[in-house]
Every structure is written in C-alpha cells, then in structure tokens.
Amino acid sequence: MFSLTLLVVVIALALAFDYVNGFHDTANAIATSVSTKALHPRTAIMIAASLNFLGALSGTAVAKTIGKGLVAPENVTGQVLLAALSAAIFWNLFTWYFGIPSSSSHALIGGLTGAVAASFGFGAVHWEGFKKILASLLISPVAGFVIGTVVMTILFWVVKNAPPSRVNHVFRRLQVVVACTASFSHGSNDAQKSMGIITLALVSAGYQGSFHVPLWVMIACATAMALGTAMGGWKIIKTMGGKIFRIEPVNGFAADLTSSLVIYSASLLGAPVSTTHVVSSSIMGVGAAKRLKGVRWGIAQRIVTAWLVTIPSSGLVAAAMYYSLARFL
C-alpha cells in the first residue's frame, strides 16, 4: 500500500535515478566529440544537458511501455518501487565508479523485475512484456553495430580521395550537429523511464485512474536528467571516447549519427533501449569498418560482460532490498 509520504519518497527516488542516469550516461552523446576536440568538454556537457531536456519532453511512448508493459499497477507497492529504484541507483553508481559503461535501462528493468518477484512471485511479472523489452534491449546494440559499420564504409568511399586535413575539418564541424541529435535522442528515451515509474506509482497509489503521464512529471524528469547530465560522467567519457579505438572526426560523426538514428527510432516505437549499449556498439561498428584489429576487443568484452550481468545483478540487489524494507515498512 501507498501512504502519501511513501509516494513522495518514491517520486524523489525516481528523480534521483533520473539525475544519476544523466551524469552516468552523459558520455553517450559527447564522448566522441570531446575525444576529437570538436567540442570543449564544458561546452559539450551544456549542449548535452540542454538537448537532453528537450528530448525528454518529446513524447511518452517509452514511459507507457515501462509503466504498463512489465508489471500491473495492482502488483506494485511503495516498497517494491523503493527497492527497484534503490537497486538501479546502486548499480549505476557502482559501474560509474569503475568507469564501466553499463546500462541504466537494464538496471531499472532488472530492479523492477526483482522487486516485484520478491514481493508477489515471478507470476506477477508480465513475461510477454518483459520479453519485448528485453528484445529491444538486445536488438538495438546489434543494429548500432551493423548500421555503424555500413555508415562508416559509405563515408570511407565518399572521402577516399579527399585530403585528410580537409576531412578532419569538415567532420569536426559536423560532429557538433550530431552531438546535438544524439543528446536529443538520449533524452527522448532515457528520461521517459522515470516518467513511467512515477506514473505507475501515481496509478498504484490511486491518485490517477488511468495511465497517462502528467505534464509536471515530464518536466520534473526532464529537469532531473538535464541537471545530472550537466554534472558529467568523466570516467565513462574516457572509456567511450578513447579506449575502444582511436577515434577521428569522421569516425565520431558516423558513430553519433548511427546512435541518434537507432535511439530516436526506438523512442518513436515506444521501445526502451540502452543508450549506452547503442553508442558503444555504434563505436565498435565504426571501428571495425575502419580496421578490425584497431578495436580494443578486450575493452569491448568488458563492456559486453557488464551488459550481460546488469539485469540479474540489479534484480538480486532489488530482491535483497525489498526483503530488508519489508521488515521496517
């Protein structure tokens, strides 16, 4: 059951998750632009924060998928959402501390699934909805890799006879444009996940009769995401921007263009994807098109490992937190 106090705490924690998600995933939109010196780091972060805010206000399709597709409102209590959000925040901070670009989306999905299963049993999870969400989380990085490889191959053909200095100059300018589109698409997908959780809480607590995202929820989540983005996630920027392979302006343009297309298409379809997964795989695809051996596959393997363990790990943490909270609330 929900008391008003518990509802307020859940909303505050959802906004805290959104904030952490913002600084954890800042690297998604600006890492390549910073690494190629197309943008000064502080300028890049301000651009990312502003466009994340606007992107977050662009729709609610992903919020509906998160709030309605995974669990039914009657199977959600304040303790469940507290445990789910706490687990997701913990996992984000844990992976951020070690500079691992893991998925905030995976952490939230795993946390919500684990908390609901601990409270009502695995039968309370909408497994059809879970499989659809999981499919989008798995397909999107594959799409990022393939499209990134294709885009980079086409660009190699286009610029093959151009002087390298001219290519760098032109694509360094174009990187500013795609950094904006990447930031907008990031906000359009990631901020909506917290919108879905808050709206789910409002419906479960009886403050709304049907699932629709109020304007104040959209603005609050957009603001939290933008503020978190403005803080920057420098450890992950370092991993994304230089440790996968040596990025040049044309590579950065290809990677950001690819991730923008994949993420925003998913947002329009209401599919929650991991922006971290998509950007990482886009960079790998671009690097593979440039030179297969130039990609540091050891770093890539570490990233993929983090992808695979996030949902079960955050689910277990959420279950443990639920059992702890149930003793006191």
| pLDDT value of residue 245 | 60
Tens of pLDDT, residue by residue over 63-88, are 999 988 888 777 788 899 999 999 99
d(CA 260, CA 216) in angstroms, rounded, equals 26
Instruction: Please report which confidence band the pLDDT of residue 247 belongs to, taking 50, 70 and 90 as the band edges.
Output: confident
pLDDT at 105 (0 to 100): 82
Query: Could you read off the pLDDT of 132-144 as tens digits, one per residue?
Result: 888 888 899 889 9
What whole-number distance in Å separates Cα of residue 183 and Cα of residue 205? 33
Query: With bands split at pLDDT 50, 70 and 90, how would you rate the model's confidence at 240?
Result: low
Q: Please write the tens of the pLDDT for every residue from 197-234.
A: 999 999 988 899 889 999 999 999 999 999 988 876 55
The string of DSSP letters for 51-96 reads HHHHHHTS--HHHHHHHHHSB-GGG--HHHHHHHHHHHHHHHHHHH
Question: Which tokens sit at 102?
Answer: 């893991």
- Give the 3-state secondary structure of 18-34: HHHHHHHCCHHHHHHHH
Length of the chain, please?
329
Measured between alpha carbons, how far is 116 from 309 in angstroms, rounded to an integer? 19
Non-local CB neighbours of 40 within 8 Å, separated by 6+ positions: 34
Enter the tokens of residue 78: 């304040």
SS (HEC) of 48-60: HHHHHHHHHCCCC
CA gyration radius for the chain? 19
Q: What's the first-to-final CA gap in the chain, in angstroms?
A: 10
| Phi and psi at residue 125, to the nearest 5° | -85, 135
Residue 191 has pLDDT above 60, yes or no: yes
Q: Is the pLDDT of residue 241 over 70?
A: no
- Please give the pLDDT value at position 294: 64
With bands split at pLDDT 50, 70 and 90, how would you rate the model's confidence at 111? very high
pLDDT in tens, 119-175: 999 988 988 888 888 888 889 988 999 999 999 999 999 998 899 889 999 999 999
pLDDT digits (tens, 9 = 90+) for 256-286: 999 999 999 999 999 999 887 888 888 888 8
Quickly tell me which residue has 């606007």 as its tokens.
54
pLDDT score recorded for residue 326: 79
How high is the pLDDT of residue 147? 96
Q: Which two tokens stand for residue 96?
A: 């951020």
> Who contacts 208 (Cβ-Cβ below 8 Å, separation ≥6)?
199, 202, 214
Identify the three-state secondary structure at position 114: helix
Residue type, 202: L
Tell me the mean pLDDT in the region 232-244: 57
Q: Are 221 and 144 in contact (CB under 8 A)?
A: no
The pLDDT tens digits of the residues spanning 3-48 come to 888 999 999 999 999 998 887 776 677 778 887 888 887 888 888 8
